[in-house]
Every structure is written in structure tokens, then in C-alpha cells.
Structure 1
Amino acid sequence: MSVELNHTIIHARNNRESAEFFVDLLDLEITAEWGPFIAVALSNGVTLDFATIPAESITPQHYAFLVSQEEFDAAYARITQRGIEHYADPQRQHPGEINHHDGGCGVYFMDPAGHAMELITVPYGGRLS
């Protein structure tokens, strides 16, 4: 059996707020709710399970998502329409911009819980075969 990531838990101040922010931005769906979790499924079968925990217990993480150019364009339009601060780089030196690393597009922004989110259209190092 090959090893695959099945799910990961993302800590949030409010699991519904964070899950809805994510699904609205990327045009996804909430696929399940149980116990403290609200799950969002990605196209490769991995779920992001958002869980509410006390804000002071949240350690900011970085989540990068590989999307198509069309998905990027739609998400970036939502980012700009909603006035979400975004950057071309993780150090936040280029506000209001996107990058073009490896011949694609990329953008960084924060989710409601303070996690750094990244959208890229080409994986680092070049195109997928």
C-alpha cells in the first residue's frame, strides 16, 4: 500500500468561520461534521478537519494548495473583491501582488485563525508531468 495523507486537523478560533472562509474562497464544499470537526474535502481525497480550540492555543501553520490557473484566477478575484490582504511572498514584502515562480502564479494570505495560506499553480521546481 502506498502512503497517502488522509486528513489533517486545522485549529481555528471558530471551526465554522474558518471552514466557510476556505470553501467560499476555493469554491469547495463542507463534506462532513462530527464532534468538534467540520471537514472540507480536497480533490485528491484529503480532508481538512477544522476544529475550534482556544485562540491562545493556536500555533500558526502554513498550508499550500496546488490549484489550476482557472481556480487561481477565481480565488484571486475573491481575495481582491473581499479586500483580503495578500502578498507575493511569505515575508510579506510585496503586498497586493502575486508571484510567477516556476512559470506559474502564487499568492499568500492569512485565514481567520492566523494560518498562512498559499495558492500556487505550479509546484516548486517546475511543472507536473
Structure 2
Amino acid sequence: MTATFNHTIIAAKDRTESARFFRDLLELRDAPSWGPFANVQLADGVLLQFAEPPVDIQMQHYAFLVDDDLFDRAYRRLCDQGVRHWADPQMRRPGETNDEHGGRGVYVKDPAGHLIELITRPYL
């Protein structure tokens, strides 16, 4: 068997709120949750597990490759809900998207403060 990515645990201030944010933004399915986790599942089966750690949360970066249609819908939701977003990871271009790597991209912070990137073309 080759190695494939299976799951990751993402620190959250409120695991339910973070799971809902990702589910709504990326149009993901609910997944069974257990123990300290609120789970959502990506189309390829990868599980995102949100947990509330007993320590301060350090910002992480998570990038998601999406098709143009999902990007348009997600970006429209961000704008309609007044969610702050940027064209760059340094957050110097607020309210914009970028057209790097032959596609489009946008950065947004999730409820726990992690920097989420949506891109329509892979970097490599």
C-alpha cells in the first residue's frame, strides 16, 4: 500500500463552530464525531478533526485545492457574510483574490484564527 493522507487534528476554540465553518465554506459532508472531536470529511476521504486543546492555539496554515465553481460559491459566501479575506498570506491586500499559479486564490481566517487558503490550481 502506498502512503496516503488520512486525517489531521485542527486546534479549535469551539470545535463545533470550526467544523461548521469548514463544512459551509467547502461544502463538506458531516462525518461521525466522537470523543473530543467534531469531524468533517473531504471528498477524498480525508478526515478533518477539530478539538479544543487545553493550551493556547498557535496559528496554522491549511490550503485547499477547489474547482472554479466551488471557489466562486465559497468566495460569494465570504463576501455575503462580510468575512475578512485577503489576496496574500501577509494580509496586505484585503478584500481581494489573487491570480497566482495560473488560477485564483484567497486567504481567510477560520474561527480559531488559522489561515485558510483556497486555490483553484496547484502550485506544482
TM-score class normalised by the smaller sequence = over 0.9
TM-score (norm 2): 0.96
Measured after TM superposition, the shift of residue 94 of structure 1 is: 0.6
Contiguous gaps of at least 5 residues in structure 2: none
Give, in angstroms, the shift of residue 59 of structure 1. Answer: 1.3
> What is the alpha-carbon distance in structure 2 between the residues aligned to residue 60 and residue 25 of structure 1?
19
The reply on whether 1:103 has 2:102 as its aligned counterpart is: yes
Question: What's the TM-score once normalised by structure 1's chain length?
Answer: 0.92
Partner of residue 33, structure 2: 33
- Matched ranges for 1:1-129 at <5 A: 1-54=1-54, 56-125=55-124
Percent identity reads 54
Q: What SS class does the counterpart of residue 8 from structure 1 fall into?
A: strand
Q: Calculate the aligned-residue CA RMSD, in Å.
A: 1.0
CA distance in 1, matches of 2:23, 2:81: 14
Distance 2:31 2:42 in 1: 10
Q: Which amino acid aligns with 2:35?
A: G
Runs of 4+ in 1 over 4 A off after TM superposition: none
Supply the distance in 2 between the matched residues of 1:97 and 1:103 (Cα, whole angstroms): 16
